Amino acid sequence: MNTNNNVYTVIYTTVIVVVAAAILSVAAMALKPMQQANIKAETISQMLMAAGLTDTDALSRMSNDQILSMYSEKARAAFIIDAAGQKTGELNTEVSDIELQDNLKLENKNIASGNPSLPVYVFDKDGEEINVIPVYGAGLWGPVWGYIAFNASCTEIVGAYFDHSSETPGLGAKIKDEAWFRDQFKGERVNFSKPDDSFDIVKGGAPAGVKDDSQVDAITGATMTCNGLEAALDTWFKAYMPFLMMKAEAAAAEVCCEDGCQEGCQDCEQTNNETVQEG
């Protein structure tokens, strides 16, 4: 065969391209399980850090299998809720088949359409219940996301963890890199009375002399990233608000009953009415 003519060149190039594509395809298929395992372990790591069950130093010394085992050990439950806050399905927490609702970009679209399938992850921390939910939105250069941990009654934030795809190092990237920013969220609350604007990230935090449990200090020089993260929090908190409020109301009713069925407790009134009817 004449190796100097155009036909040979075209055939040779085609064969090389086909062989290279086949090799890359096989490599991608072989590496896919490992990539998925890394993604799952990374997602779980973020939830565990938000819940205060571990930290970056401890995680750096753990394998994927150890991270998954820790999740399975600490998780009390994981489930899906709808827009009304009602449970619609369970997520497996067994270490051999852990299920996550981790396509947050898709779920962000579902929230906008009014038909979300929202995950709730419930952990045990020293005997206390911790509820973890995700948030997702747009930063300056790409998506930002994270996990917010609430106490058992969902009335107080007990931890947070944030990440990003391409925010500016030393500025917007601080939502992930700076512990002081995440630590501000501890002890804060979602403002149930303002469902469209239930949490604020503002420069300087709450004004002097004003106590605002739904506001943290923004990062200097990262206004757009902080604005994007605030919008993500408002969007996802609004989507979760029916669930959060039901948890808060149930906890309040339980305390009321423990204190002697005080006036206005719906659970006590219902119980009393049932007792009267039975009598």
Q: Residue 271 has what pLDDT?
A: 45
Distance CA 111, CA 22 (A): 39
Q: Are strands 215-217 and 128-138 parallel, antiparallel or unpaired?
A: unpaired
Instruction: List beta partners, residue 134.
Output: 147
- Is 74 domain-assigned? yes
Q: How far apart are CA 168 and CA 141, in angstroms?
A: 8
Number of domains in the chain: 1
**Domain contains 14:** no
- Domain assignment present for 32: no
Residue 26 belongs to a domain: no
In the prediction, which pLDDT does 206 show?
57
Distance CA 38, CA 59 (A): 13
Q: Is residue 3 part of a domain?
A: no
- Percent helix, strand, coil in the chain (nearest 5)? 45, 20, 35
Q: What is the DSSP code (8-state) at residue 98?
A: -
- Candidates 159, 169, 163; CA nearest to 133 is 159
The structure's pTM equals 0.81
What's the confidence (pLDDT) of residue 127? 96
According to the 3-state scheme, what is the secondary structure of 180-215? HHHHCCCCCCCCCCCCCCCCEEECCCCCCCCCCCCE
Q: Which two tokens stand for residue 18?
A: 């086909």
Residue 158 in tokens? 């007990």
Q: What is the pLDDT along the chain (279 residues), one digit of tens a residue?
A: 566 667 777 777 888 888 888 787 776 666 555 567 789 999 999 999 999 999 999 999 999 999 999 999 999 999 999 999 999 999 999 999 999 999 999 999 999 999 999 999 999 999 999 999 999 999 999 999 999 999 999 999 999 999 999 999 999 999 999 999 999 999 999 999 999 999 999 987 655 555 678 999 999 999 999 999 999 999 999 999 999 999 999 998 887 666 556 555 555 555 444 443 444
Q: Which two tokens stand for residue 251?
A: 């906890």
Q: What is the 3-state secondary structure (H, E, C) of 137-160?
A: EECCCCEEEEEEEECCCCCCEEEE
| Position 179 in a domain | yes
d(CA 247, CA 252): 9
Three-class secondary structure assignment of 42-80: HHHHHHHHHCCCCCHHHHHCCCHHHHHHHHHHHEEEEEE
Residue 52: give the domain boundaries. 38-278
Residue 185 lies in a domain: yes
The pLDDT of residue 26: 74
Whether residue 4 lies inside any domain: the answer is no
